[in-house]
Amino acid sequence: MPEELLEEMGPIDYLCVEFPDGSLNGKAFPLLVDLVDRGIVRILDILFVKKSLDGNVFALEGRDLELAELGVFHGAASGILGGDDLREAGSVLTAGSAAVVIVYENLWAAPLAVQLRRNGAQVVAGGRIPVQALLAALDETEPDAASAMPTSATGGR
């Protein structure tokens, strides 16, 4: 990729999503295609992985993708993800499960990211908060939050 193009890119993220045995199918993936079609994200690479019951890890391709109703992604891999990524994904998967590893650009954030870089700013930390962790944190603060509210906001409680 030319350096000028790289300077115009938005933040790049990756996800590895595990599917229990037999649940990898194409039902959720039209939503991913919709995000691409609307210019919200750009898929830079995608890898479908399977971990057999005996622990062997392999990429799903061709006919396997068609059988899982994922044919729209056949040939979509760019090669950014490689053997090390396949092994790393396999190391966190449960035997018998499958996963998708997606590397994507956040197109929606590109204008902000470009301007920040032009201003000399740089990302010094980042991360992702799983929804389950956020819900657990909110559950932990719920009694404290309710008691800290003015009585008019809680209906006089």
Tens of each residue's pLDDT in the chain, 157 residues: 566 666 789 999 999 999 988 788 778 888 888 999 999 999 999 988 999 999 999 988 777 777 666 767 777 778 899 889 999 999 999 999 999 999 999 999 999 999 999 999 988 888 888 899 999 999 998 765 555 555 554 455 4
Residue 2's pLDDT is: 63
Residue 91's pLDDT is: 93
The domain containing residue 21 runs over which residues? 3-121
144 assigned to some structural domain:
no
Residue 157's pLDDT is: 45
End-to-end CA distance of the chain: 60
* Backbone phi and psi for residue 106, each to the nearest 5 degrees, phi listed first: -85, 90
155 assigned to some structural domain:
no
Residue 154's pLDDT is: 47
Residues 6+ apart with CB under 8 A from 122: 116
**Between the CA of residue 106 and those of 47, 56, 59, 150, what are the distances in Å?**
18, 33, 25, 40
104 assigned to some structural domain:
yes
Residue 1's pLDDT is: 59
From 100, 22, 133, select the one nearest 68 (Cα to Cα).
Answer: 22
Domain tally for the chain?
1
114 assigned to some structural domain:
yes
> What is the model's pTM?
0.77
27 assigned to some structural domain:
yes
Residue 130's pLDDT is: 87
133 assigned to some structural domain:
no
157 assigned to some structural domain:
no
